[in-house]
Structure 1
């Protein structure tokens, strides 16, 4: 079934049990599996020319396993006649759709799956049935293990044990007798937690501080770092004020992992949706103080942003000139919305969104007029463009010829192996060198192709930029949808830099800020 002169590779992935075994002092998994599969390749008389090693902690899904994605792409491109793996379960243990993707990739490319126990031909009905059954049983085992682990974690939370790997600020994670962990107050951090709640809930309105002022106080006056040795932010303070662990509770699934086809996220859920129980650790504040903080936050909160909805027309476009952070939209209830730098220590002053928006449109109009004038005075020379493009084509042809030479060397290595001039070990070493050279040349070929494409697009952009900007300026104010405005601006603007050094309600500096626009044509 296997072809001695075919192209074969190895795929390696560690399971959870492998990692646990290594922790007990057993042999490193990849070394053991490589030895098994190289002995298999020698017995079958085939040559392995590449090894895909998945990172030690890979995910359940294909999208979380970069080497599997690379392998599937190569399989679909019919790069391999067969893939060696210690067991079929190593290929896919995810959901049914992932298993189907793997099965179809091997079937449609007629790629063999070679294990020490059996070689599977996905186009043979019997082998296909065995292969799919092996994946099914692997998935079933995985789901059983996952359910058992999740049930154990839920029971642990209900018993008051702390399930997180990292303790919250203000606590130290400590091992309990037997199984599980709990928390103990951190001698330096716990007073900071008590200070935060005290400042936020102070009954005296003149003494009470909001989350922004608390962050600034910790950064500038106390010079206290966060757990990650970074600056305090409003989001960090909000997270502490909402965390019931500080009045003695433990919780689980407060931010459950939500998986989609090509992404995953951890959105916050309400306390009612999470699992919350009395913890074994001592509280840092009273429940009464915690509830008071929740009441204040509820009275001062803004409507939550709708996930995926753009409310800032300059989202992803405008940056702070002082610290480089993205400028964000700050909604207000009684005054117009403003744009501000979210970093607490940054001195860049906020401005009303409407004023900044008007200035940006005006700046675009001024830039367009200057660009049109410059265009008329210095029309680009088509001959110069063609010289550059021809140079890239010449470089591309040279690289393609070099690749052909290395392909010949690669074939010669197979001849030397068949004549026993090279051992398998030497053959693998030489093969890796040649394959690496081929990969490097292929990257250079792609770069040359992209350079040609970029030169062509630059040439076209210089022609199209004037009507594009004129069209966007003519329709910009016809819509009130920030998402549509954002999409329009991103077609012609690379980024905007914002700077305002003075401000205040009575400073008469409401429009005294600097904007620097970088239209996309400057990068063409």
Structure 2
């Protein structure tokens, strides 16, 4: 008896076909690029057309491990329970389930309770036939066992390879490429430079000022460095992921997490973790990585000021010598009664550490100390002033590694500029050979010129931060200081005074030398750091 006669003998009027890829299909697609699902559909359409009964096909695009991971099959089960279909058609019995034994039990129960005929290209199975039912149970059981064996072999192989320091976690992370011969990660030079740059910027800041994740992301986007996905704009999440990934120290971790049945990722017990140090060449040394993690754990969120906030004179100017945090103004108003009965308003102002209780110092005393510092600078002769600036720059370079960071940035920009020049030459060649029309040529050259202009602007900004001492002119510097002091003393708005100070100083570090007691104020020293632009001679345009 043929398939047609066999199906019709079971009083079937409607058939529901279910198609999904097996693990072998997926592996074959990776090797050959063939579409196995379309191939399977063509086979089942031919089979069902020959049966000459109404049918409907459902295609599972994904390949879930269980019924819960196969949404299309869940719909199939509901429709089979409705009674509209008397048969289910599949390429082979194992396509119905490769999940756990609970899933197999649900499918057997569905088949038997609804007396569903199972149609394959080679045989029709009747659940009322004991031999057919035995075959169905055996095939479903065998499918699960085969799946478990394949899974164990794959996990076992990955476990061994990971223990040997080989890369088994998919696409190589940003900064590395996958070596097919060694099966290990190897450094991708240009991407690795970007990773180093991100760590340098986070540790040492940009132009002497500490920067946030967002500032680093914006800077990389501005200089034209592409993201791990090849996009133009970096995100905070991408920066943070790179800064917290200990893979860049040469470490490989495997089996640290697992996924539960409901799709939640949880931590595995530590005795199941695999750690392999020096598995590949490190981009970031361990000490640098640990410093970054410490900074991240101690990082405080930036203050969210209201829109109508008007900063005081020293806002974002002074820092704590103990923890490096910003000093913020704390003020209070008090009314004092005089002997004659009248009241007098007294305002107390202090600078306090934002992070903790490192220090508290009188606000106006610090402001006066900063202005006195500028006056003393103005009184130095040319030789003394040049020596002071030289020593400051040397110390600055040692402390924040600014020169190295900027040189890396310049190298990145020079590389991008060379690439733009090559692309412009290519466009010219295509235009001269009449491959490009006038319109296309104009569009592409305009875009390239804009990109080149943007990179040149960034290059110029970075160049202005290098070799400042060579361009230092004492007379010009004194004039700037004098003008600034005069402006500060004549301005009425605190916000305007704050802009002057922030334009002059990168920061002013405050150090308590003797704590105050009662009405005796704290004694302190200040260590100002001037901005580079203030020490450079005016640019002639």
- Which TM-score applies when normalising by structure 1? 0.50
